[in-house]
Amino acid sequence: MGRVTKGRHRSCMFCDQRDSPPSDEDVLAKWVARLWPKGAGFRVDFETVGEATAIESFQAPKGTLGLIVKRPCRRCNNGWMSQLENLAKPILTPMILGRVSSVAAHGIALEHQIVIARWLLKVAMAYEFLRGRQPRFYSRGERLALMQGSIPERTGIWAGYYTGERVARTIDTNENIPLLLSNGVTGSAYSFTLSLGRLVLQSYTHRFATAVHGRYTFRYLAVWNEMSVELWPRATGNVRWPPPYGIDDDRLSDFADRWAKRGTSE
């Protein structure tokens, strides 16, 4: 049991095919680690928020942020995933390094907002498989759609400016967030928050047990409008970054946990 016949590998987490061998994927690509002085090692903080909040830290190997999954196939890893990293790198680099003037001069263009949204969701989806975990929220269909360029329905993406002292921090909800609409329809949601250098990114996706029609809104405390900007969904226009106020270490945990406290409305 467990033996794989020649030419048949474990199914890829994105394309769901078995004809390409699995490969090691850096959840946070090596180019991110290379933005800091050569040879630097990093402490990466994992945090889960919710009823069982926990924080775990580890020292990443030099030249990497140390988050490896073995579930993407070689074809995906060397193909569309690599292409997406190449698109994201020049957009994210000045934001990670806190080069505010270069970003604020023109804002984040619409096409760049879409690249950031796809990049963060790729990270969030790979993160679900970290350390051999089984994904609990994003479906095979949603991962396949992301590979093809689509962003899951009912997804929001936000960006903030980090003023804390940590190089890298990941925060996700330890359980899917339960949702309840006024008409009794139930659902669930998942939130993933990432800080890299001076950049904070957050994704939030929700779904319901039965079809819900009409325009949806994301509900959260108004204070977060001063600390984050919405990148997706967007209709038109550039987005100004950074927001008026930064997010420090204490606020980052609150920012990550804001959905469990407020929920979603239709």
Per-residue pLDDT reduced to its tens digit, 223-236: 888 999 999 987 67
pLDDT over 90 (residue 173): no
Question: 84 CB contacts (<8 Å, ≥6 apart)?
Answer: 115, 118, 119, 122
Residue 5: the pLDDT is 41
Q: Residue 65 and residue 79: Cα distance in Å, rounded?
A: 21
Under DSSP, is residue 41 helix (H, G, I), strand (E, B) or coil?
coil
Residue 102: the pLDDT is 82
Residue type, position 242, single letter: P
Question: 194 CB contacts (<8 Å, ≥6 apart)?
Answer: 120, 123, 168, 169, 170, 171, 200, 201, 202
In contact, 128 and 107? CB cutoff 8 Å: no
Under DSSP, is residue 147 helix (H, G, I), strand (E, B) or coil?
helix
Least confident of 98-102, 129-133, 205-209, 212-216: 212-216
Per-residue pLDDT reduced to its tens digit, 190-249: 889 999 999 999 999 887 766 655 556 676 778 888 999 999 987 678 999 999 999 998
pLDDT bracket for residue 135 (50, 70, 90)? confident
Q: Residue 226 and residue 17: Cα distance in Å, rounded?
A: 43
Residue 3: the pLDDT is 38
Q: Residue 208 and residue 204: Cα distance in Å, rounded?
A: 14
Per-residue pLDDT reduced to its tens digit, 35-65: 887 655 566 666 655 554 556 666 666 677 7
In this structure, the strands spanning 168-173 and 42-49 are parallel
In contact, 158 and 205? CB cutoff 8 Å: no
Question: Where in the chain are the domains?
Answer: 25-265
